[in-house]
Amino acid sequence: MGSSKTPDYSRVVVIDDLLMDKQGIYPFKDGIVTHALMGRYGNMFLVNNRSTDIQNVSKGDVWRYYFVNTANARPFKIAISGAKMKMIASDQGVFEREFFADDFVISPGERYIVDIMFDFIDGKKQASLSAIHPSGPTLLSKFKMSGMATKSEVSSSDFAKLRMNAEESKEFEPIKAKLSQPPLKHLTIDAELTGPHASHMMTKSHSDGIEWDDDMGPMSADITSADVKWFMKDEETKKLNMDINWKFNHNESVKIRIDNKGKTHPMQHPIHFHGQRFVVLARNGKPNDNLAWKDTALLPAGETMDIVLDNQNKGKWMAHCHISEHLAVGMMIGFEVK
Ligand SMILES: [Cu+2]
């Protein structure tokens, strides 16, 4: 394996948000799902259950962070300042090539493994991790410098290297050959609105196809499971959601196109497959040149994503949108691997 040497320290980072009102946590109701159109966006950000996470680190330390986003709906753009960040792996495996990054986007259900070297450049004694949104950054974690590293020499010279994971690249070769082939399955995404909200559903769409915040105001909560149905449609059979039941052979690799061009309420959807792994082969027809095994991938509004699903586990499975409210109003399909 060519994958990176594990740094001396590691930590799991659970990113979440919580919707609070004056009484406390905005209530969940019995038998009805609020925020069914947008999903429930929180107004308080949490890192490992704290509103501001503080960690002491030594100058020169390299830490490996295992990020997971457990929010109902919110994607986070995570940025670092005062330290350097290297992307190692995603949900199910390493990237073909490690790379340095200033920020990365993590949607509900996604995971990223990231190495951070605390070099505290420019004489600063503090580094920070923030969520970057159009309205500005929100501080998530503060890292305070507490002395010089003891084990850093090996780690920091290792940190400077960007590894090529040749074994994985080789494994991806037959998958990349599917670029020129038509997809075996084709899903489209849209929503259906009924009731008093049906006429005023368009929200302003962002140029990157991502709703970073719920800007619908109080109306967002009032659109419930009684008013909206989110669906994925099989373009071949025209079946919707759980009426879809694809049959695949064990170890069959299947190219699936997912189209998020629905007009009812354009927004992003994090698509998750149970029981298998996949790669994002292309977005909007443009090949992905740095593959990693995943099980969840964010599909912005107006975009198309081609994935290759690697059916290695027999059984009956589902795939769904990872926005909890979308899932609750039906946005899931079935498939079977025999
Ligand atoms: Cu969704």
Which pLDDT band, with edges at 50, 70 and 90, does 158 fall under? confident
CA of 21 to the centre of ligand 1 (A): 24
Place of tokens 């069914």: 36
Residue 19 contacts by C-beta under 8 Å, 6 or more apart in sequence? 25, 26, 40, 41, 42, 43, 44
Lowest mean pLDDT among 188-192, 202-206, 284-288: 202-206
| pLDDT computed for residue 123 by the predictor | 73
CA of 278 to the centre of ligand 1 (A): 19
Which pLDDT band, with edges at 50, 70 and 90, does 42 fall under? very high
Lowest mean pLDDT among 13-22, 47-56, 74-83: 47-56
| pLDDT computed for residue 136 by the predictor | 87
Bigger pLDDT: 159 vs 304: 304
Q: What is the CATH number of domain 176-337?
A: 2.60.40.420
Element (H, E) at 168: helix 166-176
9-165 and 176-337: identical CATH topology: yes
Q: In the predicted model, is pLDDT for residue 152 greater than 60?
A: no
CATH superfamily of 9-165: Cupredoxins -  blue copper proteins (2.60.40.420)
* Secondary structure (3-state) at 286: strand
Q: In the predicted model, is pLDDT for residue 1 greater than 70?
A: no
CA of 232 to the centre of ligand 1 (A): 9
Pick from 245, 257, 246, 253: nearest CA to 311: 253
Q: In the predicted model, is pLDDT for residue 92 greater than 50?
A: yes
Taking only the tens place, the pLDDT of each residue in 204-252 is 567 899 999 998 878 899 999 999 999 999 999 999 999 999 999 999 9
Per-residue tokens: 124: 């600063």
| pLDDT computed for residue 153 by the predictor | 59
Nearest-5° Cα angle at 28, 18 to 67: 30
Pick from 73, 113, 107, 122: nearest CA to 94: 113
Give burial (CB, 10 Å; 0-12/13-18/19+) of 266: buried
CA of 152 to the centre of ligand 1 (A): 43
Domain ranges of the chain: 9-165, 176-337
| pLDDT computed for residue 126 by the predictor | 87
Lowest mean pLDDT among 90-94, 143-147, 176-180: 143-147
Give the separation between CA 204 and CA 161, rounded to whole angstroms.
42
Determine contact, residues 254/181, Cβ cutoff 8 Å: no
Q: In the predicted model, is pLDDT for residue 84 greater than 90?
A: yes
Number of H helices, E strands in the chain: 4, 24
CA of 36 to the centre of ligand 1 (A): 10
Average pLDDT over residues 74-86: 95
Lowest mean pLDDT among 161-170, 203-212, 249-258: 203-212
* DSSP per residue, 218-238: THHHH--TTTEEEEEEETTT-
Residue 207 contacts by C-beta under 8 Å, 6 or more apart in sequence? none
Residue 27 contacts by C-beta under 8 Å, 6 or more apart in sequence? none
Going by the DSSP 8-state scheme, the letter that residue 156 receives in this structure is H
Which pLDDT band, with edges at 50, 70 and 90, does 121 fall under? confident
Which pLDDT band, with edges at 50, 70 and 90, does 3 fall under? very low
Taking only the tens place, the pLDDT of each residue in 27-36 is 999 999 999 9
Lowest mean pLDDT among 113-127, 129-143, 236-250: 113-127
Q: In the predicted model, is pLDDT for residue 201 greater than 70?
A: no
Give the separation between CA 320 and CA 273, rounded to whole angstroms.
7
Please state, in angstroms and as integers, the Cα–Cα distance from residue 336 to each residue in 155, 249, 286, following that order: 44, 8, 29
Place of tokens 């159109």: 37
Determine contact, residues 90/136, Cβ cutoff 8 Å: no
**232-237 long-range contacts, Cβ below 8 Å, gap at least 24?**
232/187, 232/188, 232/189, 232/258, 232/321, 232/331, 232/332, 232/333, 233/187, 233/188, 233/189, 233/190, 234/185, 234/186, 234/187, 234/333, 235/186, 235/187, 235/188, 236/185, 236/186
CA of 87 to the centre of ligand 1 (A): 26
CA of 234 to the centre of ligand 1 (A): 16
Per the prediction, the chain carries an average pLDDT of 92
Taking only the tens place, the pLDDT of each residue in 53-67 is 899 988 888 999 999
CA of 312 to the centre of ligand 1 (A): 26
Please state, in angstroms and as integers, the Cα–Cα distance from residue 318 to each residue in 39, 204, 271, 315, 329, following that order: 20, 31, 11, 10, 15
CA of 336 to the centre of ligand 1 (A): 22
